[in-house]
A and B are shown apart, each in its own frame.
Chain A
Amino acid sequence: MKWIHRLEPLWWLLFGAGGFAAALLLPGFLFGVTIAAPQSWFSEYAISYQRMHGLAANPLGRLLLVALISLTFWHSAHHLRHLALDLGLGHIQAAVSYGLYGLALLGTLLTISVVAAL
């Protein structure tokens, strides 16, 4: 746990950055990509493979997607770690912390590899 505590400022930094990224950008992306696009509320051109691929594979698009998704994973890991402590799981906090931050790291690496493969 010493290692986790030593990096506490980093966890809080990622928590804050991920919180603002998720709060300000995720509702729009979720609504647009998972609800409006499959329901054909946008034009056929707008959700065509060529256009969507072009948006996502653009260098700015890649940067935005990696930042939004990976920061949200880190934010969630930190929030859930503190939820576990509040719900009385302090006796296994090392396992919870390593598990959640490990998942966030895995999510970040996965996001980078998926976005790089565009």
Chain B
Amino acid sequence: MTSRSTTPTWPAREPDGWWMGHPRYRNYVLFAATGFVLSAGCVVLLLGIRALGQGHAAWQAYLAHVGSLPGQLGCWLLLIGTLFFSLRWLWVGVKIPLVRLGIVPAPPEPVIWVAHFAGLFALTALVLLLLAGVIL
């Protein structure tokens, strides 16, 4: 026979500051916080697109703004944060086909690794060649 306890209890919750307790937790939280960095990067790009829509002078002013010392500091920080996100996202992405494909045989792990990071390298190169005027 069991007796039900009448002691009131709070639902379980994480201890405060749990994410500082282990490097893996810290990396996990930093990864989730890259949402701020990605959004800020998109806002900077959006300002550039708006300048393109406003004419030649606005585009030159945009380049001068982002090219200033504070602008460059901010842009390098955004780029570093975005690269951290990209590498971590693809690292997580590599694990998905290995676990989730189920009845479909997964390709060998090295193939998945190469496919993910070759994709990042190829698309980054393509975008830069396009912007640099090498293609088109």
Which residues on A are within 8 Å of B, measured CB to CB?
19-20, 22-39, 42-43, 45-47, 49, 51-53, 55-57, 65, 68-69, 72-73, 75-77, 79-80, 82-83, 86-88, 90, 107, 110-111, 114-115, 117-118
Q: Does B126 contact A (CB under 8 A)?
A: yes
Find B35's partner among A45, A49, A79 (CB 8 Å cutoff).
A79
In the complex, the chain B residue whose C-beta lies closest to that of A41 is B132
Closest Cβ neighbor of B78 among chain A residues: A30
- Number of residue pairs across A and B with beta carbons under 8 Å? 170
Number of B residues whose C-beta is below 8 Å from A?
A: 56
Contact of B132 among A20, A46, A80 (CB under 8 A): A46
Residues of chain B with a CB closer than 8 A to A82's CB: 32
| Chain A residues within 8 Å of B67, by CB | 38-39
Cross-chain pairs A/B with CB under 8 angstroms, 7 sampled = A20-B93, A28-B131, A33-B45, A35-B75, A35-B79, A49-B59, A56-B52
Query: Which listed residue (B52, B83, B90) contacts A52, Cβ 8 A?
Result: B52
Residues of B within 8 A of A25 (CB): 123-124, 127
Neighbouring A residues of B53 by C-beta, 8 Å: 114, 117-118
Checking A27, A65, A69, A118 against B124 with a beta-carbon cut-off of 8 angstroms, the contacting residue is A27
Given contacts A33-B48, A65-B45, 5 further A-B contacts (CB under 8 A): A24-B119, A27-B79, A31-B128, A32-B132, A34-B45
A77 close to B35 (CB less than 8 A): yes
